[in-house]
A and B are shown apart, each in its own frame.
Chain A
Amino acid sequence: MNEINICLPLIAISAPLIASILIYILGEHIGKNAREAITFISSAILLISVYSLVPHVLKGEAIEIIFLEIVKGVNFSFNIDAAGMVFACVASTLWVLTSCYSVGYMRGHGEKNQTGYFSAFAICIFATIGLCFSANLITFFIFFEILTIGTYPLVVHYRDEEGRRSGRKYLAYTLISGQIFFASIVIIYMFTGTLEFKAGGFIKPDMLPMPLMLILFIMMVGAGAVKAGLMPLHSWLPAAMVAPTPVSALLHAVAVVKAGAFCTLRVVLYVFGPEAAKACHGAEILSYMAVITIIVSSLIAIRKDNLKARLAFSTVGQLSYIILGISMLTPESSVGAIYHIVAHAFMKITLFMCAGAIFVTAHKKNISEMVGIGRRMPITMGAFTTASVALAGFPFFVGFVSKANIILGAMKINNLLFSMTLVVSALLALTYLMPVVLIGFKKDIINEEFQKKDDANLMMRIPLVITAVISVILGISPNFGLHLYTLAEIAAKSIFG
Chain B
Amino acid sequence: MMRNLPALIIIFPLVSALLSVFLSKISLYLGRNLVITSIFISLALSIVQLREVIINGPISYKFGNYAVPYGIEFKIDTINAIMLVMICIIGLLTGLFSTNFEENSKDRIKIGGSHALIALLCVGMLGMTSTGDVFNLYVFLEVTSLSGYVLIALGGSKGVVSAFRYLLIGTVAATFYLLGVAMLYSVTGTLNMQDMHDILSSRANDDTMLIAMCMFIAAFGIKMALFPFHGWQPSAYTHAQTGARPLIAGVMGKIPAYAMFRYLYCVYGTEFKYFRYFLIVIGALSVMGMIYGSVRAMAQTDIRKMLAYSSVAQISYITLGFAIGTPIAIAGSFLHMFGHAFMKGGLFFASGSIRYKYGIVDMNDFGYIYKKMPLTSALLSISALSMIGIPPTVGFFSKWYLALGAAGEREYIYIAILVISSLLNAIYFFKMIEKIFMAKDRDLKPIGRDSVMELPWTMMIPIVISILMILGLGLFNVKIINILLMSLGGIGI
* Interaction A to B: yes
Q: Which of A70, A142, A163, A167 gathers the greatest number of chain B CB atoms within 10 Å?
A: A70
A131 → B minimal CB distance (Å): 13
Nearest A residue (CB) for B474: A70
Stretch at the interface among B96-104, B401-409, B447-455: B401-409
> Does A175 interact with chain B (Cβ within 8 Å)?
yes
**B390-A183 in contact (CB<8A):** no
B430 → A minimal CB distance (Å): 6
**A68-B475 in contact (CB<8A):** yes
Which chain B residues lie closer than 8 Å to A453 at the CB level? none
Nearest B residue (CB) for A160: B438
> Does B437 interact with chain A (Cβ within 8 Å)?
yes
> Does A145 interact with chain B (Cβ within 8 Å)?
yes
**A176-B423 in contact (CB<8A):** yes
> Does B419 interact with chain A (Cβ within 8 Å)?
yes
**A142-B391 in contact (CB<8A):** yes
Annotate A151-182 by CB proximity to B: 1 below 8 A, 0 otherwise: 00100100100011001100100011001101
Query: Which listed residue, A71, A142, A164, touches B438 by the CB 8 Å rule?
Result: A164
**A190-B408 in contact (CB<8A):** yes
> Does B328 interact with chain A (Cβ within 8 Å)?
yes
**B390-A72 in contact (CB<8A):** no
**A179-B403 in contact (CB<8A):** no
> Does B142 interact with chain A (Cβ within 8 Å)?
no
Question: Knowing A72-B328, A149-B385, A164-B434 touch, does A186 contact B478 (C-beta < 8 A)?
Answer: no
**A71-B397 in contact (CB<8A):** yes
A156 → B minimal CB distance (Å): 6
**A183-B423 in contact (CB<8A):** no
Annotate B414-442 by CB proximity to A: 1 below 8 A, 0 otherwise: 01101100110010001000100110000
Question: Knowing A142-B392, A171-B430 touch, does A183 contact B419 (C-beta < 8 A)?
Answer: yes
B374 → A minimal CB distance (Å): 9
> Does A3 interact with chain B (Cβ within 8 Å)?
no
> Does B82 interact with chain A (Cβ within 8 Å)?
no
**A145-B390 in contact (CB<8A):** yes
A143 → B minimal CB distance (Å): 9
> Does A359 interact with chain B (Cβ within 8 Å)?
no
Which chain B residues lie closer than 8 Å to A186 at the CB level? 400, 403-404, 406-407, 415
> Does A296 interact with chain B (Cβ within 8 Å)?
no
A216 → B minimal CB distance (Å): 11
B411 → A minimal CB distance (Å): 11
Q: Which of B391, B407, B418, B482 gathers the greatest number of chain A CB atoms within 10 Å?
A: B391
Annotate A172-209 by CB proximity to B: 1 below 8 A, 0 otherwise: 00011001101100110110000000000000000000
Which chain B residues lie closer than 8 Å to A141 at the CB level? 391
Which chain A residues lie closer than 8 Å to B418 at the CB level? 183
Annotate B383-397 by CB proximity to A: 1 below 8 A, 0 otherwise: 001001111100011
> How many CB-defined contacts (below 8 Å) exist between A and B?
79
**B400-A183 in contact (CB<8A):** no
Majority secondary structure, A binding face: helix
Which chain B residues lie closer than 8 Å to A182 at the CB level? 389, 399-400, 403, 419
Which chain A residues lie closer than 8 Å to B60 at the CB level? none
Q: Which of B412, B422, B481 gathers the greatest number of chain A CB atoms within 10 Å?
A: B422
How far is A72 from B397 in the complex, measured between Cα atoms in Å? 10
How far is A250 from B397 in the complex, measured between Cα atoms in Å? 30
B412 → A minimal CB distance (Å): 8
**A179-B434 in contact (CB<8A):** no
> Does B487 interact with chain A (Cβ within 8 Å)?
no
Query: Which listed residue, B400, B412, B419, B426, touches A71 by the CB 8 Å rule?
Result: B400
Query: Which listed residue, A175, A176, A190, touches B407 by the CB 8 Å rule?
Result: A190
Nearest B residue (CB) for A139: B391
How far is A141 from B400 in the complex, measured between Cα atoms in Å? 12
> Does B70 interact with chain A (Cβ within 8 Å)?
no
> Does B476 interact with chain A (Cβ within 8 Å)?
yes
Question: Knowing A142-B392, A182-B419, A186-B407 touch, does A70 contact B475 (C-beta < 8 A)?
Answer: yes
> Does A146 interact with chain B (Cβ within 8 Å)?
yes
Task: Name B443-493 residues within 8 Å CB distance of A.
Answer: 475-478, 481-482
Which chain A residues lie closer than 8 Å to B422 at the CB level? 175, 179
Query: Which listed residue, B408, B423, B430, B477, touches A179 by the CB 8 Å rule?
Result: B423
Which chain B residues lie closer than 8 Å to A142 at the CB level? 391-392, 396
Nearest B residue (CB) for A158: B438
> Does A444 interact with chain B (Cβ within 8 Å)?
no
Task: Name A42-85 residues within 8 Å CB distance of B.
Answer: 68-72
**A189-B391 in contact (CB<8A):** no
How far is A182 from B418 in the complex, measured between Cα atoms in Å? 10
Which chain B residues lie closer than 8 Å to A190 at the CB level? 404, 407-408
**A146-B391 in contact (CB<8A):** yes
Task: Name B81-115 residues within 8 Å CB distance of A.
Answer: none
B409 → A minimal CB distance (Å): 10
How far is A68 from B415 in the complex, measured between Cα atoms in Å? 26
Which chain B residues lie closer than 8 Å to A71 at the CB level? 397, 400-401, 477-478
B225 → A minimal CB distance (Å): 25
**A68-B423 in contact (CB<8A):** no
**B434-A189 in contact (CB<8A):** no
How far is A70 from B391 in the complex, measured between Cα atoms in Å? 11
Which chain B residues lie closer than 8 Å to A69 at the CB level? 478
Query: Which listed residue, B396, B408, B415, touches A183 by the CB 8 Å rule?
Result: B415
Nearest B residue (CB) for A178: B390
Query: Which listed residue, A149, A168, A180, touches B419 by the CB 8 Å rule?
Result: A180
How far is A175 from B390 in the complex, measured between Cα atoms in Å? 9
Which chain A residues lie closer than 8 Å to B406 at the CB level? 186
Which chain A residues lie closer than 8 Å to B399 at the CB level? 182
Nearest A residue (CB) for B431: A168
Nearest A residue (CB) for B371: A28
**B478-A159 in contact (CB<8A):** no
Question: Knowing A186-B407, A190-B404 touch, does A175 contact B423 (C-beta < 8 A)?
Answer: yes
How far is A186 from B408 in the complex, measured between Cα atoms in Å? 9
**A68-B419 in contact (CB<8A):** no
How far is A71 from B399 in the complex, measured between Cα atoms in Å? 11
How far is A148 from B426 in the complex, measured between Cα atoms in Å? 13
Nearest B residue (CB) for A167: B434
Which chain B residues lie closer than 8 Å to A159 at the CB level? 437-438
How far is A182 from B328 in the complex, measured between Cα atoms in Å? 17
Which chain A residues lie closer than 8 Å to B482 at the CB level? 72
Given A171-B426, A182-B389, A190-B408, 4 additional A-B pairs, CB 8 A: A68-B476, A156-B437, A175-B426, A190-B407
> Can you spell out 22 A-B residue pairs with CB atoms less than 8 angstroms apart?
A70-B397, A72-B328, A72-B482, A142-B391, A142-B392, A145-B391, A145-B396, A149-B385, A153-B437, A168-B430, A171-B426, A171-B430, A175-B388, A175-B426, A176-B423, A179-B389, A183-B418, A183-B419, A186-B403, A186-B406, A187-B412, A189-B407
5 tightest A-B contacts by CB?
A190-B407, A142-B391, A186-B403, A69-B478, A179-B419
Contact surface of B with A, Cβ cutoff 8 Å: 328, 385, 388-392, 396-397, 399-401, 403-404, 406-408, 412, 415-416, 418-419, 422-423, 426, 430, 434, 437-438, 475-478, 481-482
